[in-house]
Structure 1
Amino acid sequence: MQLVTGMPPNQPHRAEVSKLLVHPNFRRQGIARTLMLELERQAGHRARSLITLDTVTGDKAESLYRSLGYETAGVIPGYSRNPFRTRFDSTTIMYKTLALRSRVDDPPVTAR
């Protein structure tokens, strides 16, 4: 899993999920969900209130992200070449706003 936090100066509140891969033999065991929750926790520790990501449109990962509270910002057709077929796949851009805590004992505050 990769969380990119090196953003331009006008986006210090944002992080991007660059990669989240689980070997096919180990899917459907909650590994991706656990990794995403840890990634969100790490983003929160770095005061990031917005996480963005992209995934192949229609892929099983899309439903995982939705179940974790990610919303669809849009779809870009023909975004990436499918390595197993001679076609280009669309990608779905998704985002999630995180609740940040100013101190460990403070209740969550939704970033705006």
Structure 2
Amino acid sequence: MTNDIRVRRVSTEEADACAPALAEVLIDCVEGGASVGFMLPISRDTALAFWRGVAQGVARGERVLLVAENAQQCIVGTAQLVTAQPENQPHRADVAKVLVHRAARGRGVGLRLMQAIDDAARAAGKSVLVLDTVTGGVAERLYARAGWQRVGMVPNYALMPDGTFCATTFYHKQPGQAARSASEGRMPNMRR
């Protein structure tokens, strides 16, 4: 992990201005084979429209947008915490679009984004997080290292950017659970 990467929360005022740089990251990931909701060929207009919609969600307080920047302050990764949930799930959030530009991979960017997601979730009062990813993809190793628990896999859940089916694995995490359990003198996920 290098120290030249900084992860920060994007403010409401700057979310739309980040759209072009975020579009570049999204396009790179989809062109690299990431199944993140888009098909090939992905146009710049499609990517920009997506990020402008995300900026609107940030402005409405429905999501937290995080970016990872290199030493030159170029955006090389991103992640979102979707905090707007149904009325009976105010304690839950979804993690979405964890993306790292291929040129920045292998430097700990993804792990730093996941740590920042945990911090943002705690700050938002969220105690249950969920996400999904392509089964067998490199992201599964990242989520395991970040302390996420595998729930299960659904075959043929989504399409890869080239149109082939892929299975999806679901994960959950309860940020702060280990810290709470330790302060209570017991191990997490164990009953007394």
The TM-score, its normalising length taken from structure 1, stands at: 0.86
Matched pairs, number: 104
Task: Tell me the equivalent position of 2:123.
Answer: 45
Instruction: List structure 1 runs of 4+ shifted beyond 3 angstroms.
Output: none
Aligned-partner residue type, residue 71 of structure 1: Q
Task: Tell me the equivalent position of 1:11.
Answer: 89
Mapping of residues 53-92 of structure 1, within 5 Å: 53-84=131-162, 86-92=163-169
Task: Tell me the equivalent position of 2:103.
Answer: 25
Instruction: Give the structure with the larger strand fraction.
Output: 1
> What displacement does 1:95 show?
0.5
> Does structure 1 residue 93 correspond to structure 2 residue 173?
no
1:22-79 CA deviation, whole Å, 9 max, x = no partner?
Answer: 0111101000110110111001001101110000000011011011110111101101
Q: Kindly indicate whether structure 1 or structure 2 has the higher relative contact order, using CA contacts under 8 Å at least 6 residues apart.
A: 1
Separation of aligned partners in 2, 1:68 and 1:31: 12
1:60-103 CA deviation, whole Å, 9 max, x = no partner?
Answer: 1101101111011110110111113x421000000011117xxx
Instruction: Give the structure with the larger helix fraction.
Output: 2
Separation of aligned partners in 1, 2:180 and 2:91: 14
1:109 to 156, 177, 180: 180
Aligned-partner residue type, residue 98 of structure 1: P
Q: Secondary structure at the match of 1:21?
A: strand
The TM-score, its normalising length taken from structure 2, stands at: 0.51
Structure 2 unaligned regions, length at least 5: 1-78, 182-187
